[in-house]
Amino acid sequence: MEEAMQQADMRFAAGEIVKGIIIEVRPKEVLVDIGYKSEGSVPGSEFDDISEVKVGDEVNVLIERLENREGMVILSKEKAEFKENWEKILTICNEGGTISGRVKAVVKGGLLVNIGVEAFLPASQIDVIPPKNLNTFVGNTYEYKVVKINRERQNIVLSRRELIEQERAERRAKLLEEMTPGDIRKGTVKNITDFGAFIDLNGLDGLLHITDMSWGRINHPSELLKVGQEIDVVVLDINYEKERVSLGLKQKLANPWDEIDTKYPVGATVKGRVVNLVPYGAFIELEPGVEGLVHVTELSWTKRIAKPSDVLQVDQDIEAVVLGINKEEQKISLGIRQLEANPWDEALEKYPPGTSVKGKIRNLTSYGAFIELEEGLDGMIHVSDISWTRKINHPSEVLKKGEEIEAVVLEIDKPNQRISVGVKQLSEDPWSNIDQFYKVGDLVSGNVTKLASFGAFIGLEHDIDGLVHISQVSEDRVDKIKNALKVGQDVTARVIKIDKSDRRIGLSIKAANYSNEQLQAEQAALDSLKPGEDLVALQHAFDAVGDEGAEDEDGEDRLVDVPAGQDDAADAEAPKSEE
């Protein structure tokens, strides 16, 4: 008997595979009777589902140790399967075949898969797109391709991705064969870029360009689509060589521009929503896919609007008038000011040239003043139309902002939307009747209004200035005009020359008591002066008052008062309208 038992024990050795009967199922281990003098223990983790293990089931196990400290046999179900399946796995690997297996656990760099033996599945080979959470695969069974085997170490590397790609390639070829332009296909948004979205058509990726998403304006595809969203798309074009498919979304709907001119005829009043504001205008959505542009110049008849955002806001509902349609370029021109009557259409009837008007001065510029005739309608008074007799260098010399004045309409330029008005035209030009007011030889009185290095301006009646040259102040030589005359001083002088063409009057203080013979002699002396020194004919004498001035006490030239000569109004070359 002892010899028989020794022979029986010889078949139980470490590394041997034996059959056993499950005699007890515990939470973390399963007890197996292999016919040895003591039962064996198999870890519960080696069973796919320990809850399905039943007492009495038969199982193949590998003996790892015959006895541990407790006298129990240590068994392994997985190692038995590994040893039994190793030759089978080698055959499959050599042939590049596929095998099914259950994901056992997450390990560094990938997953551990039970395919009868333990095999490694790298994270990069799990799917076409490497997953972020590997734990979602644990416990699931998949098909794999064996891509690498190390016989010495008994290591196997698997790939699920290659099978997926192979399957997708087969589906892609089948789809390309079946698909034709115009088909409507169901797909899933796979990826979104700035220029469009890639749609997965169940094995074949197609590009849905941003311009084919909507008939309307889209700034970014994410406004319309989300990754994972299922949509129906239209096949627009197929490149069989490169396996590329162009898709469309807006093509499922009728093109709203096909009958645009019928729906929005020129001159019609339409309603819309402001969807975008740019420096040159505002885009108005009339309906999905149809937008019109209101140019900044079409916002108001009279107001100068620098940018549309000054008067409009995004999402604001407005009305506009259709001005023009370009069907080929899908453009609609709109106008807002056309909703109101154009005040310039009635301006010529309301303010014909010669009409006397009143209004407040709204603005002063270097070349004139703007007077408000009515709401949104201004008239411009050019600096040369303020006075017949005085040279006005800046309108602020005689006008104030907010002041109400009277003026005469001179001209209406409807194309350029300008109204020219004048103040001096309210009265008669005194120079037209100058002979009735002054004659050579007349003795006149006035006060000194300005001093210049070359003489003094004397304010006379009828708002006319005369010039006393420095040589005509006194019989004695005058080196500096300020030593002889003061601004505001009353003087008496003789008219010694009148020049109608240049609108100038020459005076002489020292000739106030001259006889006719002396006066004639003095006139001859004046005529012999060099150009630039002539008392009357000298244009520079009057004009230069803005550049020259009386000398101050330190001997430096300065302008004593705001100059006002009698230059022709044409000398001023300022623009006739507010820019």
- The answer to whether the CB of 383 falls within 8 A of the CB of 368 is yes
- 478 alpha carbon, distance to own chain's centre: 69
Q: Which of 89-93, 247-251, 564-568: highest mean pLDDT?
A: 247-251
Please give the biggest Cα pair distance in the chain: 180
Question: Which residues make beta-bridge pairs with 62?
Answer: 17, 76
Q: Is it the case that residue 531 has pLDDT exceeding 70?
A: no
Cβ distance 47 to 59 under 8 Å? no
For each of the domains in the chain, give its residue range(s) and CATH number, in order of start.
Answer: 2-79 (2.40.50.140), 179-252 (2.40.50.140), 260-318 (2.40.50.140), 343-426 (2.40.50.140), 430-569 (2.40.50.140)
Give residue 546's pLDDT: 40
25's CB contacts (< 8 A; 6+ apart) are 31, 50, 53, 54, 55
Which pLDDT belongs to residue 61?
A: 86
131 or 68, which is more confident?
131
Closest CA to 251 of 209, 215, 288: 215
Element (H, E) at 441: none
Q: What is the pLDDT of residues 217-250, one digit of tens each?
A: 778 888 888 888 888 888 888 887 777 888 888 8
Report pTM: 0.42
% helix / strand / coil in the chain, to the nearest 5?
25, 35, 40
Q: Please, which residues bridge with residue 445 across strands? A: 492
Alpha-carbon span 93 to 86, nearest angstrom:
10
Instruction: Check if the beta carbon of residue 65 is closer than 8 Å to that of residue 76.
Output: no
The predicted pLDDT at position 94 comes to: 64
Among residues 540, 541, 511, 539, the alpha carbon closest in space to that of 523 is found at: 511
**Residue 576 pLDDT exceeds 70:** no
* Chain center to CA of 293: 15
- Calculate mean pLDDT across residues 128-140: 86
pLDDT (0 to 100) of residue 525:
65
Answer for the pair 358, 404: CB distance below 8 angstroms, yes or no.
yes
Q: Provide the pLDDT confidence category of residue 527 given band limits of 50, 70 and 90.
A: low
Give the pLDDT of residue 144.
87
Total Cβ atoms within 10 A of residue 58: 9
Looking at residue 562, its pLDDT comes to 34
Higher pLDDT residue, 105 or 261? Answer: 105
The predicted model gives 398-410 an average pLDDT of: 86
**Has residue 550 got a pLDDT over 60?**
no
Rounded mean pLDDT, 386-415: 82
- Ranges of beta strands (E only) in 193-280 are 196-200, 205-209, 230-239, 244-248, 269-278
Cβ-based neighbours of 95, under 8 Å, separated by 6 or more: none
Residue 458 structure tokens: 């004397």
**Mean pLDDT estimate for the chain:** 78
Residue in the structure block whose two tokens are 């009305």: 319
* Bridge partners (DSSP) listed for residue 382: 368
| pLDDT tens per residue, range 508-521 | 888 777 777 777 77
Q: How confident is the model at residue 540 (pLDDT cuts 50, 70, 90)?
A: very low
Q: Which helix (H) or strand (E) holds 363?
A: strand 356-365
Instruction: Tokens for 39, please give them.
Output: 């039962």
Write the Ramachandran bin of 239: left for phi over 0, alpha for psi from -120 to 50, otherwise beta: beta
What pLDDT is attached to residue 538? 39
Which of 223-232, 267-276, 540-549 has the least mean pLDDT?
540-549
* Inter-residue contact 134 to 111 (CB < 8 Å): yes
Residue 428 or 493, more confident: 493
**What pLDDT digit, counting tens, does each position of 406-436 carry?**
888 888 887 777 888 888 887 777 777 777 7
Question: Using an 8 Å Cβ cutoff, are 16 and 63 in contact?
Answer: yes
Q: What is the pLDDT of residues 31-54, one digit of tens each?
A: 888 888 888 888 888 887 888 888
Q: Is the dihedral of CA 181, 186, 189, 190 positive or negative?
A: negative
| Residues 533, 557 contacting (CB under 8 angstroms) | no
Return the minimum-mean-pLDDT range out of 1-10, 13-22, 79-88, 392-401.
1-10
**Antiparallel, parallel or unpaired: β 504-508 and 465-469:** parallel
Q: State the pairing for strand pair 377-382/404-413.
A: unpaired
HEC string for 158-199: EECHHHHHHHHHHHHHHHHHHCCCCCEEEEEEEEECCCEEEE
Distance CA 544, CA 562 (A): 12
Please tell me the predicted confidence (pLDDT) of residue 539. 38
- The three-point CA angle 9-15-17 to 5° equals 75
Within 8 A by CB and 6+ apart from 189, the residues are 197, 198, 199, 200, 225, 226, 227, 228, 229, 230, 231
pLDDT score for 523: 66
Buried b (16+ CB within 10 A) or exposed e, 254-288: eebbeebeebbeeeeebebebbebeeebbbbbbbe
Residue 572, pLDDT > 70, answer no
Count CB atoms within 10 A of the CB of residue 533. 15
Does residue 499 surpass a pLDDT of 50?
yes
pLDDT on residue 551 = 38
Task: Give the residue from 457, 462, 446, 419 showing the smallest Cα distance to 536.
Answer: 457
Kindly calculate the radius of gyration of the chain based on its CA atoms and give it in whole angstroms: 53
Q: What is the DSSP string of 278-312?
A: ETTEEEEEEETTEEEEEEGGGS-SS---S-GGGT-
- SS3 letters for 85-114? HHHHHHHHHHHCCEEEEEEEEEECCEEEEE
Pull the structure tokens for residue 268. Answer: 């019609």
Tokens 């150009």 belong to residue: 531
Average of per-residue pLDDT across 195-221:
83
| pLDDT at 11 > cutoff 70 | no
Neighbours of 416 (CB within 10 A): 9
Beta bridge partners, 271, equal 319
Lowest mean pLDDT among 151-165, 254-268, 289-303, 555-569: 555-569
What is d(CA 40, CA 22) in angstroms, rounded to the nearest whole number? Answer: 9
In which element (H, E) is residue 222 found? none
For the ranges 121-125, 251-255, 439-443, the maximum mean pLDDT occurs at: 121-125
| Cα gap 264→175, rounded to integer Å | 42
Give me the pLDDT at residue 6, please: 52
